[in-house]
Amino acid sequence: MKRDSEAVPQPGRALPAQQAFASYAAPLIAHAIELAEAVHEDASPEALHQLRVSLRRLRSLWWAFSPLLDKGENARQRAVYKFLATAAGKTRDWDILIELLMQPDSGARELLPRLDEARADTLAVSRETLLNADVKHLLRDVFASTSAELNVAHESRIALHQFAAKRVDASKRSLKKRIKRAGRAKRSNYAAFHDVRKAGKKLRYLFEFFGPVLEGGHKRTLKRLKKIQKHFGKLNDVVASEALLRENAELLIGAGDLDAALDWLGRQRKRRMRAVVGLLR
């Protein structure tokens, strides 16, 4: 199965951005549908992870083209991708927690059978949600609606390379603003650090979409974005796992030493927080 970035053809730089939209969106929509259907057969962590990533990329693409779209309609369409990504992500969150607690020094291996049961229950709900949502028709309808809106748009046409540069610049400013805010934030203010991760991920997706039509090189920026995503992603995994464990404490009564697991996750969170703070300096 091809990755999204490999499946997206690159339209010409001078092509109107409104016309170029379909070239980016159509293969991403097809790939997301393929992944959603595969989840019904493949319950592996990787399958769910790829689906969530695919839906996040779609949400970022719609954000990129938002200046050319009706605000209310665009917000509703991006909400569709968020809803579907959340459905897939709930099972993925259990996978991350289980993977973390499988480490020998976690002292939580006795919890794993109960965690596996919770993961299986959540997977059943995720599959049912995706099935009831009728992902294929839902995504195709969103794509058709947005394409139709862009085709009849009355605003002046803008060349793709100019539009892409403006959107990348806007995303860069957003990331810098969030990095500055996180640099001043207390370590207990995780939301500020999480915002950096989201902004960095969005900018990276935009470079993947528009890189070939942008002027100049952006290898250094991409390298930094990958580093941010790696370290902030590791922090997010621990923070989300710690919260998931606390939220489901009642399910784990008598299954093992829950406090030991939470203490271990707390130490991991502090260690990974130090790493991201160092990255912002």
Structural domains present in the chain: 17-280 (1.40.20.10)
| pLDDT at residue 2, rounded to an integer | 42
Structure tokens at 173: 């400013």
Residue 159 has phi, psi (to 5 degrees) of -65, 145
Spatial contact of 252 and 258, defined as CB atoms under 8 Å apart: yes
Please choose, from the candidates 172, 176, 197, the residue with its C-alpha nearest in 3D space to the C-alpha of residue 275. Answer: 197
CB burial of residue 13 (10 Å; 0-12, 13-18, 19+): middle
Phi-psi region of 257 (alpha: psi -120 to 50; beta: other; left: phi over 0): beta
Provide the residue-wise pLDDT of the chain in tens; the chain has 281 residues: 444 444 455 677 788 999 999 999 999 999 999 998 888 788 777 888 899 899 999 999 999 999 999 888 888 899 999 999 988 888 889 999 999 999 988 888 888 999 999 999 998 888 888 888 889 999 999 999 999 988 876 566 889 999 999 999 999 999 999 999 998 888 888 999 999 999 999 999 999 999 889 987 788 888 888 888 899 999 999 999 999 999 998 888 877 788 889 999 999 999 999 999 988 87
The pTM for the full model equals: 0.86
Spatial contact of 68 and 155, defined as CB atoms under 8 Å apart: yes
